[in-house]
Amino acid sequence: MEQKRDIRAFTKEQLKEYFTSIQQPVFRATQVYEWLWKKGATSFEDMTNLSLELREKMKLEFVINHISVDEMQRSSDGTIKNAVRLYDGKVVESVLIPTETRITACVSSQVGCSLDCHFCATGQLKRMRNLNADEIYDQVVAVMNEAETFFSRPLTNIVFMGMGEPLMNYKNVLEAIEKITSPEGLNMSPKRITVSTVGLAKMIKKLADDEVKFNLALSLHSARDVVRDSIMPINLKNPVAELAEALKYWYRQTGKRVTYEYVVWKDVNDQPEDIAALVKFCHHIPCKVNLIEYNPTDDERFQQADDKVLNAYIHALESKGVVAKVRKSRGKDIDAACGQLANKNEVVNTNS
């Protein structure tokens, strides 16, 4: 028997084409889109503004796939980590991060990651596949529901800082954001969404050309090629000067400042020349620096630098007018913090 297609894999355009092909009015596409992406319908029976006959027909042709949250862990600081099971049994993680003023969803874009940043636990997993747009969207909805259930507050922000490199899954990430921001979908403002990248110069320019409305963050960690090359292999093909050029292009096209994520490690990037290089890099375009606390993984080469060095960074940046903030880790006790997402509790992501 031919396998049924997943209706949630359709773009709005594809839905229109489908309804036209079966001699239905084109507004059916909007109706079905809203059922799927605004109201979260899980069956065709729910779609009560379609005729019974049409619902029956669609049921024979399509399935409506959904992810499931297999396991939920809660941190003593309120952070929640979800192990999310995909349709093919693979597992990714997503995180709810509560603060006094915000509830942020941190979502994954790939199963595993191909980048191999030496300090990141996700980098130790192989990249297995890209997530579909609906699998990304579903992670957001799961966190949205948890925000209501456990905090009685709405989800306010979304960051693409979970597993994987969002710009290596460009099409599906943008398609998911379309469903999240569209008035016919979740209707969230793109200003509340941040996509974080390891720094793929070409793709940063593509984002600018596509005139995206969400925010961009760059995982910089060093503004010196010798250092960045040694901790993030992707820098060999995307050296610091090329990143700077791509960021200038981004800023010219979008007028939006960029956030740089930066961890300071002992004996890696704790010298005056490291600080000077970052300060210089920060003058390419308006930006903000988030100094992230290091979350230890199994690799002992990396250790958080002393507060003294951190303060030297902040002082140097602020004296040149650059906004710098120290970001404390959240959810460390459940391995939910940056760079710790590695499906520690799971044994299912094998390549078999």
Q: Is 93 a catalytic residue?
A: yes
Beta-strand relationship, 62-63 and 5-6:
parallel
**What are the residue ranges of helices labelled H in the chain?**
12-21, 27-37, 52-61, 133-146, 170-181, 201-209, 225-231, 240-254, 272-281, 307-319
What does the alpha-carbon distance between residue 105 and residue 186 come to, in Å, rounded to a whole number? 14
Which token pair is 75?
């941190």
φ, ψ for residue 53 (rounded to 5)?
-60, -45
- R_g of the chain, CA atoms, integer Å: 21
Q: Is 325 helix (H, G, I), strand (E, B) or coil?
A: strand
Helix, strand, coil percentages in the chain from 3-state DSSP, rounded to 5? 40, 20, 40
Binds ligand SAH by CB under 6 A, chosen from 130, 132, 169, 219: 219
Q: Going by C-beta distance under 8 Å and a sequence separation of 6 or more, which residues neighbour residue 271?
A: none
Asked if 120 touches ligand SAH (CB under 6 A), the answer is yes
Specify whether the CB–CB gap between 103 and 144 falls below 8 A.
no
Nearer residue to ligand SAH within complex by CB, 24 or 219: 219
> Which amino acid is present at 45?
E
338 assigned to active site: yes
Q: Which is nearer to ligand SAH, 198 or 317 (CB)?
A: 198
Contact with ligand SAH (CB under 6 A): which of 140, 275, 338, 342? Answer: 338
Smallest separation, CB 91 to ligand SAH (Å): 17
Candidate ranges 14-22, 116-124, 270-278, 279-287; the one touching ligand SAH (CB under 6 A): 116-124
Compare residues 53 and 300 and give the one whose CB is closer to ligand SAH.
300
Q: Which stretch binds ligand SAH (CB under 6 A): 117-125, 204-212, 248-256, 266-274?
A: 117-125
Catalytic residue among 106, 113, 117, 338: 338
Query: Exposed (0-12), middle (13-18) or buried (19+): which is 298, by Cβ within 10 Å?
Result: exposed
Residue 221 contacts residue 232 (beta carbons within 8 Å): yes
Range 5-64, binding ligand SAH (CB under 6 A) = none
Instruction: Work out whether 261 is an interface residue with ligand SAH (CB under 6 A).
Output: yes
**Least CB distance to ligand SAH at residue 110 (A):** 9
Per-residue binding string, ligand SAH, 148-167, x by CB under 6 A, is: -------------x---x--
Size of the site for ligand SAH (CB under 6 A): 17
Closest contact distance (angstroms) between CB of 175 and ligand SAH is 18
Residue nearest to ligand SAH (CB): 339
| Catalytic annotation, residues | 93, 338
Binding site for ligand SAH (CB under 6 A): 117, 119-120, 161, 165, 196-198, 219, 261, 263, 292, 294-295, 297, 338-339
